[in-house]
Chain A
């Protein structure tokens, strides 16, 4: 049983982001991390390897060369090997192109489970897992709070508004997991040292048999504007007054906004 976890390197949530003139993220400007929601997918895969349900765990990412750092960090948490698909023609790729590239790379790796986080912290499209499943013609098990493997099938537990569903599909599958699978582990010092010796392969589009001409410059969508969120008005503080007066002021504030 082989799991490939697809991860994405994203700018840290707290990092101040700058954009280039063509509205792409200036990657040099922001600290990069593994997409935090992908860490849950890594944790789920490593737990399956630890309990014997999976024999190997590999990582796959598409991105610039520096995305190799995210793969190394993932390997430090555990797992066996990693693959980076990088190509100059992929700069600015959207969900559609990303799914096409990942699907081609996964065809080559042929895992039983292609595991992903439920969303990326930067684009938040949540489209890639479904698109990869469609392109590969395999079932999609999405939003699992738990993933198990047995008897040639994958099963997820999905929380619903009224309880939870168990959803099962025959392997191979694409699956996504939520932050309910358990806290991602920290890389141990020995894990970090071992990660340097684990294989990390870099593939071009040619290596996975994708003709750049089919990617339509990497995107079907176009970013028309990017701007920082508008600053919130300053917090109004009621300080240094008695409880009665403070309560009156709060009531007046709420009444003025027709909230009470």
Chain B
């Protein structure tokens, strides 16, 4: 399978980059310091139609292909990882509806999501069910024409700012998480829903990470996605695709750090010459740039597989996320090194980028889970299968 960036992709990159450099980058340090969700930038992205790229035109979206959505996340993350999560989570939260929703459900929710009037979040992870998704415990009990949801969710990105969630709960506890879990669309105005607390985080600090409490939250039957028991499958198919956005975010962070390091090395003089004239620094910059480019191309290759709905797309998206996340961590660490003492202080952006990079090795499947996904597909291809005890999981 081949992929090629079109003139439209390059135009999109130019437009998003201009917006990110002029309007998002100047806000990044303050967003990080205050740990406040950037509502102003959410409005800006909505106004520029950049929150509706995964929705059809008939719902008011712009229906970009996956490479286009990847470029969008990448270019925003190059300026600010927190802000890149606004379109990323809009897609993550909507994916269960895109994949398993009825036309009626799509017509009801997509217009408000595509316009950016509403935000959506993906509520899968629980305190005791991270990588082990099947260990989920939240209950959904059918009562007349409603499911009654009870339990709690943890580490839910945008959980406190979303108007609606795609949430996962057990409809058949005896069958366990793998077969007994169902997916629901839950509006956060529903009585019984509350935000228990927000986490204090190392990075992506402007993006609220919430613990959510469901106390007899009544959800109409028509808000169930797919059939009862489809929840685990919907969650996995969502994560197979959404983790590509994290690869894109990681590429953007790495590129942003590389750009800062190159500029700094070219500007700063030590021992009577530019820092960039030291070969040791040149080697670091070359590694940062080439590794970032390799991660980017793998991410685009995986995006093409998502658009083709290729059977091996988990192999590709997991590979992209694994490589890009590790690249972001390594490149941002090296960027701090190139800047020396300046890299370690908040006056320069690379320490923030280094803190932001770490999450890309953790969420939407730790790097270890990605390796399990990759290995499982390798073994299946070889006809060897995977041992039954292998768990198929990924946290949000």
Residues of chain A touching chain B, judged by Cβ–Cβ distance below 8 Å, are 186-193
Contact B19 A189 (CB under 8 A): no
| The residue from A186, A188, A192 contacting B11, defined by CB atoms under 8 A apart | A192
Residues in A with CB closer than 8 Å to B62 are 189-190, 193
| The residue from B15, B52, B53, B64 contacting A187, defined by CB atoms under 8 A apart | B15
Residues of chain B touching chain A, judged by Cβ–Cβ distance below 8 Å, are 11-12, 15, 18-19, 47-50, 52-53, 62, 64
Residues in B with CB closer than 8 Å to A187 are 15, 48
| Least Cβ–Cβ distance between B391 and chain A, in angstroms | 39
Chain B, residue nearest A31 (CB): B14
Chain A interface SS verdict (over half)? helix
Assembly CA distance A188 to B48 (angstroms): 4
| Least Cβ–Cβ distance between B91 and chain A, in angstroms | 14
Residues in A with CB closer than 8 Å to B64 are 189
Known: A188-B49, A189-B49, A189-B52. 10 other contacts (CB 8 A): A186-B48, A187-B15, A188-B48, A189-B48, A189-B53, A190-B49, A190-B62, A192-B11, A192-B12, A192-B15
Residues in A with CB closer than 8 Å to B12 are 189, 192
Assembly CA distance A186 to B17 (angstroms): 12
Residues in A with CB closer than 8 Å to B47 are 188
Residues in A with CB closer than 8 Å to B15 are 186-187, 189, 192
Residues in B with CB closer than 8 Å to A193 are 62
Assembly CA distance A142 to B19 (angstroms): 30
Residues in A with CB closer than 8 Å to B19 are 186
Assembly CA distance A189 to B11 (angstroms): 10
Chain A, residue nearest B53 (CB): A189
Residues in B with CB closer than 8 Å to A191 are 49
Across the A-B interface, give the 3 residue pairs with the lowest CB-CB distance, nearest first. Answer: A189-B49, A190-B49, A188-B49
Residues in B with CB closer than 8 Å to A189 are 12, 15, 48-50, 52-53, 62, 64
Assembly CA distance A188 to B52 (angstroms): 11
5 contacts between A and B (CB under 8 A): A186-B15, A186-B19, A188-B48, A189-B49, A192-B15
Assembly CA distance A186 to B22 (angstroms): 11
Chain A, residue nearest B16 (CB): A189
| Least Cβ–Cβ distance between B69 and chain A, in angstroms | 11
Residues in A with CB closer than 8 Å to B53 are 189
Contact B49 A186 (CB under 8 A): no
Chain B, residue nearest A196 (CB): B8
Residues in A with CB closer than 8 Å to B18 are 186
Assembly CA distance A60 to B47 (angstroms): 27
Residues in B with CB closer than 8 Å to A192 are 11-12, 15
Assembly CA distance A192 to B64 (angstroms): 12
| Least Cβ–Cβ distance between B396 and chain A, in angstroms | 27
Chain B, residue nearest A191 (CB): B49
Chain B, residue nearest A76 (CB): B15
| Least Cβ–Cβ distance between B114 and chain A, in angstroms | 10
Chain B, residue nearest A72 (CB): B11
Chain B, residue nearest A190 (CB): B49
Assembly CA distance A259 to B152 (angstroms): 71
Assembly CA distance A186 to B23 (angstroms): 11
Assembly CA distance A14 to B52 (angstroms): 33
Query: Could you say which of B12, B18, B47, B49 has the most chain A C-beta atoms within 10 Å of its C-beta?
Result: B49
Assembly CA distance A189 to B15 (angstroms): 9
Residues in A with CB closer than 8 Å to B50 are 189
| Least Cβ–Cβ distance between A78 and chain B, in angstroms | 13
Assembly CA distance A252 to B87 (angstroms): 56
| Least Cβ–Cβ distance between A186 and chain B, in angstroms | 6
Assembly CA distance A193 to B47 (angstroms): 15
| Least Cβ–Cβ distance between A128 and chain B, in angstroms | 27
Assembly CA distance A192 to B10 (angstroms): 12
| Least Cβ–Cβ distance between B341 and chain A, in angstroms | 14
Chain B, residue nearest A195 (CB): B11
| Least Cβ–Cβ distance between B113 and chain A, in angstroms | 15
Residues in B with CB closer than 8 Å to A190 are 49, 62
Assembly CA distance A192 to B62 (angstroms): 11
